[in-house]
Structure 1
Amino acid sequence: MDITWWGFAALASAAALVGFSKTAVSGANTVSLAVFAAVLPARESTGVLLPLLIVGDVLAVFTYRRHAHWPTLWRLFPAVAAGVVLGTVFLAWAGDGAVRTSIGAILLLMAGVTMWRRRGAARAGAGTERPADGSAGKGRIPDSGGSGVLGPRVKAGSYGVLGGFTTMVANAGGPVMSLYLLSSGFRKLGFLGTSAWFFLIVNTSKLPFSVGLGLIDGPSLLLDAALVLFVVPGALIGKACVNRIDQRLFERLVIGATVLGGLQLLLR
């Protein structure tokens, strides 16, 4: 891969942001996705980014492994598997422009729906005191907005298919799952623990598909070997910062990162 020093510096910064997003603000790695796709060919960039995401997932699981909500994970996995298969088929046939437009539109739609739901939940729950930390209920509180007419299983299935599809096509499943966990009432530590296990399992399962599509090869792994050195300090910085971010700011940062990632995909 022909990469300039400025290009490598941009990739190194994006790799550090991968680590930070895994231990502090999930969804922020949509910025990393955009940087990788800008420096490298869009298709090849997904293969380079995937091993770095897995390293970040391992660090996140090590940090937040006790805070996962496993019933939520088991409810999501079947739909995510279907989404990964659909994403593999789509990636084999669609061009880069169609991929970017589809994912960007999905992210912005999900962000809008989540903000609308949370605004309604805030009005419905006005006057109800919420715990300040993530310890109660394994970091999860009731979904004040309800699941609407679709019900929790259909809701999990819808988000799961979208998450599996977007994570396979462009490693962009983080924002979709972030919106699902926020809309389901997860607090900070429960959010991070559940997200960490989810993406470690899902991203690892994507490896055979990515290798089969030719997205991961010798040159991409060689670049990963250099960039992984920047993922670890990013994760450590995220771990140091997460306790200084209150719940309301945390949720705004996650949604803001989702909107930013969606706009970058649409406008690039």
Structure 2
Amino acid sequence: MLDVSYSFYIVAAIAVLITGISKSGFSGGMGALTVPLMAMFISPFKAAAIMLPILCCMDVLSIWAYRKSFHRKNLIVLVLGALSGIGIGALTYSYVDADDIRILLGLLTLLFGLSYFVGNQKEKKQTQTSTPVGVGCGMIAGFTSFVAHAGGPPVKFFLLRQRLDKTVFVGTNVAFFLIVNQVKLIPYAWMGQFSAENLLLSLLFVPIVPLGIWLGLKLHKIIAPDLFYQISYLMMIFAGVKLLYDGMLPLVW
């Protein structure tokens, strides 16, 4: 095991629980906490490698609940873009500054999240989005998910404005990241990210996953659609601030 304080295991366990609740109930958002919290004790790269198998377990459990509740066309469009984005990320990983990606993505995410609360009522109604926009968002999501574990905002940018049924919205997110995270396992393994120590730590936190997924599904059922969308946009604002903070912190220190 890692030579770290017990605080790491407590903080990481809480972060995994929150991520499970967020992923199954609200299509992510609070999951942006996990890697940064772990990174207070270990390197961000190690934290990301530990989290990927855990995220895959969350995806598998979540997809069962949403197996009949996802938007097929949106999913296909996003995945087509994401596959190319993951490929670009794998080929350029050693040349890309992940902090620059976090800053740019954080700024865009924050502005989009704030636009919901400062815009007029018309902007909050259902808006049709084009296939090229979906492919582009999927490509950005695949790329940023690979290099910075921050693929959620581009997907939400594409889906939120469509004002889908809340269950279909979450289900489409769950199905998308089920595919993306499974695909990411291949280049991550090729790059040697899954050491015995990392996998053992992943296994240690896996028992927390079912509890987080169950709590998220319960909350999803009882929250009204309007409140659900307000929470989703608030999560985007939170994710944007967190990405900006994580990206700018090395510049400050």
Q: Which residue of the partner structure matches residue 228 of structure 1? A: 206
Taking the aligned partners of 1:188 and 1:43, their CA distance within structure 2 comes to 33
User: 2:35, 2:44 within 8 Å by CA — same for their partners in 1?
Assistant: no
User: 1:101, 1:265 within 8 Å by CA — same for their partners in 2?
Assistant: no
Taking the aligned partners of 2:7 and 2:140, their CA distance within structure 1 comes to 34
Q: Which residue of the partner structure matches residue 52 of structure 2? A: 50
Taking the aligned partners of 2:66 and 2:120, their CA distance within structure 1 comes to 27
Structure 1 stretch 218-227 or stretch 18-27: which is displaced more? Answer: 18-27
User: 2:16, 2:208 within 8 Å by CA — same for their partners in 1?
Assistant: yes
Q: Which residue of the partner structure matches residue 21 of structure 1? A: 22
User: 1:114, 1:183 within 8 Å by CA — same for their partners in 2?
Assistant: no
Q: Which residue of the partner structure matches residue 251 of structure 2? A: none
Q: Does 1:100 align with 2:99?
A: yes
Gaps of 5+ in 2: 247-253
User: 2:67, 2:171 within 8 Å by CA — same for their partners in 1?
Assistant: yes
Q: Does 1:110 align with 2:109?
A: yes
Structure 1 residues 118 and 194: CA distance shift in structure 2, 3 A: farther
User: 2:109, 2:237 within 8 Å by CA — same for their partners in 1?
Assistant: no
* Alignment counterpart, residue 84 of structure 1, candidates 86, 89, 92: 86
Deviation at 1:51, TM superposition (A): 0.6
Deviation at 1:18, TM superposition (A): 1.9
Q: Does 1:169 align with 2:147?
A: yes
Q: Which residue of the partner structure matches residue 228 of structure 2? A: 250
Taking the aligned partners of 1:86 and 1:105, their CA distance within structure 2 comes to 17
Q: Which residue of the partner structure matches residue 32 of structure 2? A: 30
Deviation at 1:39, TM superposition (A): 2.8
Deviation at 1:169, TM superposition (A): 1.2
* Aligned-CA RMSD value: 2.1
Deviation at 1:124, TM superposition (A): 6.0
TM-score, normalized by length of structure 2? Answer: 0.88
Q: Does 1:7 align with 2:25?
A: no
Q: Deviations over 1:196-233 (max 9, x none)?
A: 11111110011011111222221111001111111111
Structure 1 stretch 110-119 or stretch 67-76: which is displaced more? Answer: 110-119
Structure 1 residues 119 and 248: CA distance shift in structure 2, 3 A: farther
Taking the aligned partners of 2:123 and 2:170, their CA distance within structure 1 comes to 26
Structure 1 residues 14 and 59: CA distance shift in structure 2, 3 A: same
Structure 1 stretch 50-59 or stretch 178-187: which is displaced more? Answer: 178-187
* Alignment counterpart, residue 75 of structure 2, candidates 73, 76, 89: 73
Gaps of 5+ in 1: 126-142
Deviation at 1:121, TM superposition (A): 7.3
